[in-house]
Amino acid sequence: MAALDETIHQPTRLRLMAALQALPAEERVEFTRLRAILGVTDGNLGAHLTILETAGYVQIEKDFAGRKPRTRVSATPQGRRAFAGHLAFLRELLDAASRTGDGGGVSGPSGVSGGG
């Protein structure tokens, strides 16, 4: 049974990992492009990237393009596996909720309640 990934579950990090997952393996995206895609500030994106990097989910590379500093980000194989596992958890949760018709009171994967 898939499990909730607390690191990825946070909405901005979930969107960030989804954006990176859409890239071919080993491909990198520039920080500025990622910031525009997510619509977040430099500081906010930097903080979330640090959390994901600490978890081993992203790799951050800093270099120069000519004289201009450049930061590029890619998902690691571990990050791709974690994202896939988290998606599997969410799919199981949604499937469990849809089987009840209204999603109320059903216990989803790992005992997470599906109702409000």
Tell me the per-residue pLDDT of 6-37, one tens digit each, with 9 for 90 and over: 999 999 999 999 999 999 988 999 999 999 99
**Helix (H), strand (E) counts: the chain:** 5, 3
User: Would residue 108 count as lying in a domain?
Assistant: no
- Burial environment of residue 34 by CB neighbours within 10 A (0 to 12, 13 to 18, 19 or more): buried
> Which residues does 62 contact at the CB level (< 8 Å), separation at least 6?
69, 70, 71, 72
Average pLDDT over all residues of the chain? 89
CATH number at 58 reads 1.10.10.10
Q: Which comes out higher in pLDDT, residue 49 or 105?
A: 49
User: Would residue 104 count as lying in a domain?
Assistant: no
Length of the chain: 116
Q: Which comes out higher in pLDDT, residue 46 or 115?
A: 46
> CA torsion, points 85, 91, 111, 100, in degrees to nearest 10?
-170
- The parent domain of residue 94 ranges over 6-98
Question: How many domains are there within the chain?
Answer: 1
User: Would residue 109 count as lying in a domain?
Assistant: no
